[in-house]
A and B are shown apart, each in its own frame.
Chain A
C-alpha cells in the first residue's frame, strides 16, 4: 500500500527543514561558537577556562542542587502518585494536580517572594511557633524548595501513568503467595514503575541543572547553576564563546542523563 510516490518526500519538507534548521543547526552553532573568544579569535581558551576550579565548582554545585531537587521531588511525588491511583475519580484528581503546572512559572515563583519574605506568612508562622523570624528568601533552601514545588507535577505524571498500568491481579497474586505489603512493593510495584520513575527523573534533573529564573528571583545571587552561568555569559557579559562552551557541556550532560534514564526497552513513545 505504501506506494513509491515521490510526493511523499515533498510534503515532508517543512518538517525536514525544521529538523535541519532548529535541531541540528543550533547544536552546530553552539559547538562552533565555543571555539571563539570575546574578540572573535579561534581558541581553546574557553575549554581551558571551563576546567578551572571556578567552573568545576559551579558544575559540581549545580549537579548537587539538581540532585537534591530531583530527590525531594521523587520523595514527595511517588507516594502522591501511588495514593492518587487508589482514589475513586483518579483522572479528575490527577487533573487537579496538573493544573498548578499550567499556571505561569513566573507567577508561582513570584508568589514565593511574598510567601517567604521577612513579613510573609511563613515567617509569621515561624514567629507564632516561637522559632522566630528567619531569612528564608535568598538562601539555597528557598531555591531547592521552590524548584521542588515547581517540578512535583512533572514527576507525578509519569509515575502515576506507570502505576496506573499495573494489573491489580498481580498485587492479589503477590498477596496470595504470601508477600506482605513491603515485599509486594519492593518486588512487584517498584520494578514495574522504574520506567516511570526514570522518565520523571529525566524531566526534573535536566531542567533543574539549567533553571535560571528561580535562582535569580528566589536565591538572589546565592546559587549559581549551569543555566544561570549560561544566561549570564550570553545576556550580561556578552561572552557568547564562554556561554557556548558551558552550553556544550550542558548538552553532553543532558545526553548522559538521557542514556542513564532511558529504559532498556528504548523509545520515548510507548
Chain B
C-alpha cells in the first residue's frame, strides 16, 4: 500500500486536533486555580477535591452508573430474546416488519422518545424518577442489542444446529451450548453499547426524570446553563479517564475474541 501524502496527513491531523481539542481544553482547565476557562492561574487539584466532597454529585454519579448497569443487563437479556425470536421467525415479511419496528427507536429523535414516554408514564401512572428513567433506558437500548446480536445469528451456519440436534442435543442444549456461545461477541458488544447509550443519554432522561432524581447528563446540563463551573471540568477529566480505560478494555477484549480460539476468522 502506498504511504499517505503530506496533504492527507495534515488533513487527518487537523480533524484529530479538532475532535480532541475541546476535551483536552476541558481537562486542562480542570487544574486551574482561577475561576474560569480563559485564564490559567496556577495548578490545583481543588476542583477534583470538590467533586469528591460533593455528596449530592456523588449520589448522582452512583445513580447514573446503577441505571446504566441495570438497563444494559436487562436490555441485553430482552434484546437477545428478541434477536432469537426474529431469527426463528419463518414468515419473511413478518420478520421484516418486526425488524423495521425494532429499528424505529434507533432512528427516532430523542425528543420524540422522551416526550412519548413522558405521556406514557403519566397515563400508566409510573412515578417519574428512578423507575421511569430505568424503564426508558431499557426501552431504548433493546433495539441496539438486537441489531448487534442478529448479524451474529445470521452468520451462524444452520448446519451447526442441525448437527447438534442430530447428535441428540435437546432444544435447551442447542440454545445454551451452541447458539449462545456462538453469538457471545454480539451479546457483549450489545451490552457495551447499551451501557454507553445509557451513560450518554441526556434528552430522554431529561423528559422523564421529574424532580428529585437526576443523572449526570441532566446535572451537567443544569450546571452548564448557569455558566462555567470548574467542577464540571474536573468531572469531565474523571469521565475521560474512565472512558479511556473502558475503551482500552473493550479493544483488548475485541482483539482477544478475534484471535485463535474463535471458530471463524
Contacts and interface: CB of A to CB of B under 8 A. Distances in A.
The reply to whether chain A is a binding partner of chain B is yes
Interface of A: 1-3, 5, 7-8, 11-12, 14-16, 18-19, 21-27, 29-30, 33, 76, 79-80, 83-84, 86-88, 93, 95-97, 99-100, 102-115, 117, 119-121, 124, 149, 152-153, 202-203, 206-207, 209-210, 212-213, 216-217, 227, 230-231, 234-235, 240, 243-244, 247, 250-251, 254, 258, 267-270
A14 B78 CA distance: 6
Contacts of B22: 108, 111-112, 115, 149
Contacts of A227: 109-111, 203
A103 B104 CA distance: 25
Interface of B: 1-2, 4, 8-9, 11-12, 15-16, 18-23, 25-26, 29, 36-39, 77-79, 81-82, 84-85, 88, 90, 96, 98-99, 101-105, 107-120, 123, 139-140, 142, 147, 150-151, 154, 158, 161-162, 165, 171, 196, 199-200, 202-203, 206-207, 216-217, 220-221, 224-225, 228, 232, 235-236, 239-240, 243-244, 246-247, 251
A111 B30 CA distance: 11
B78 A18 contact: yes
Contacts of A110: 26, 220, 224, 232, 236
Given A2-B88, A18-B78, A104 B199 contact: yes
Contact of B217 (A96, A104, A114, A120): A104
A86 B37 contact: no
B210 to A, nearest CB: 11
Given A12-B85, A108-B22, A216-B225, A30 B247 contact: no
Contacts of A108: 22-23
Nearest to A97: B19
Find the residue from B9, B104, B225 having the highest chain A CB count within 10 A: B104
Given A12-B81, A104-B200, A213-B202, A29 B25 contact: no
Contacts, number: 242
A198 B200 CA distance: 25
Contact of A107 (B29, B79, B115, B236): B236
A145 B20 CA distance: 15
Given A102-B200, A104-B202, A106-B202, 10 more contacts: A15-B78, A25-B120, A80-B11, A97-B15, A102-B246, A103-B240, A110-B236, A111-B23, A115-B22, A119-B36
B15 A106 contact: no
B82 A24 contact: no
A251 to B, nearest CB: 6
A96 B88 contact: no
A93 B199 CA distance: 24
A188 to B, nearest CB: 17
A142 B241 CA distance: 28
Q: Is the interface of B mostly helix, strand, loop or mixed?
A: helix
A260 B20 CA distance: 33
B265 to A, nearest CB: 14
A87 B15 CA distance: 14
Contact of A102 (B15, B117, B171, B243): B243
Closest 9 A-B residue pairs measured CB to CB?
Answer: A114-B37, A26-B116, A210-B109, A15-B82, A111-B22, A119-B38, A12-B85, A22-B139, A106-B220
B8 A86 contact: yes
Nearest to B90: A2
14 contacts: A12-B85, A18-B142, A30-B115, A96-B16, A109-B224, A110-B232, A111-B23, A111-B236, A152-B15, A152-B19, A206-B109, A212-B203, A230-B115, A234-B207
A250 B110 CA distance: 11
Contact of B116 (A27, A93, A206): A27
A267 B82 CA distance: 17
Given A105-B200, A212-B111, A87 B4 contact: yes
A254 B239 CA distance: 33
Contacts of B165: 1
A268 B148 CA distance: 12
Contacts of A209: 109
Nearest to A80: B15
A217 B225 contact: yes
Contact of B150 (A26, A121, A269): A269
A15 B112 contact: no
Nearest to B110: A210
Contacts of B246: 102
